[in-house]
Each structure stands twice: as structure tokens, then as C-alpha cells.
């Protein structure tokens, strides 16, 4: 199975990120205790992304902090 780097930039084993909903407030960067979240910050292109998906512990602080609803819990059903 081929390893897909683009998927790693929008998901961890516990949460996924919809970069189109991200408002670039960066509250999730401060909330994440494991420093899983990074940012893309160009003048015309700004959003969060996961930079260390393997470090995610599933605390869901990013989900709780994001007022735009860009982070969502991955359902294990």
C-alpha cells in the first residue's frame, strides 16, 4: 500500500481536518499539547495542517477549541 503524505497533513488516527473550514485563528496550535498542528501561512492561502500526526494522543483539544468546526473526531464505528 502506497503511503499518502497528503492524507497525513489533514488527519491523525483520532481527528481529521477540513482546511477549507479553517479560519487561520491558530487557536488549535496553542491548544495542542503534543504540537501536532502546524500552519500554512501565505497571504492568500492560510490554514492549519497536521505536521506530526503520529504524536496525536486523541485529547480532542483541537476539536473543542476550533470555533469554525475545521477539526472533527474520527468515528471508530
Q: How confident is the model at residue 2 (pLDDT cuts 50, 70, 90)?
A: very low
Q: How confident is the model at residue 77 (pLDDT cuts 50, 70, 90)?
A: low
DSSP 42: -
Look up the CATH number of the domain holding residue 48: 3.30.70.20
Which residue has 503511503 as its cell numbers? 3
- Of 3, 16, 27, 73, nearest in space to 49 by CA: 16
Which residue has 483539544 as its cell numbers? 61
- Of 44, 45, 42, 37, nearest in space to 66 by CA: 37
What backbone torsions phi and psi does residue 55 show, to the nearest 5 degrees?
-85, -10
pLDDT digits 0-9 by tens, 7-48: 667 899 999 999 999 999 999 999 999 999 999 988 888 999
Query: Residue 1's pLDDT is what?
Result: 40
How far apart are the two ends of the chain, measured CA to CA in Å?
Answer: 23
Query: Residue 7's pLDDT is what?
Result: 60
Query: Residue 55's pLDDT is what?
Result: 96
**Domain span holding position 48:** 5-73
Q: Count up the domains in the chain and report the number.
A: 1
Amino acid at each position: 500500500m502506497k503511503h499518502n503524505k497528503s492524507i497525513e497533513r489533514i488527519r491523525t488516527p483520532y481527528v481529521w481536518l477540513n482546511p477549507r473550514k479553517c479560519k487561520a485563528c491558530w487557536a488549535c496550535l496553542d491548544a495542542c499539547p503534543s504540537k501536532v498542528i502546524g500552519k500554512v501561512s501565505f497571504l492568500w492561502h492560510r490554514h492549519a495542517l497536521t505536521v506530526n500526526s503520529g504524536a496525536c494522543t486523541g485529547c480532542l483539544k483541537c476539536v473543542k477549541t476550533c470555533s469554525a468546526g475545521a477539526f472533527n473526531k474520527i468515528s471508530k464505528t
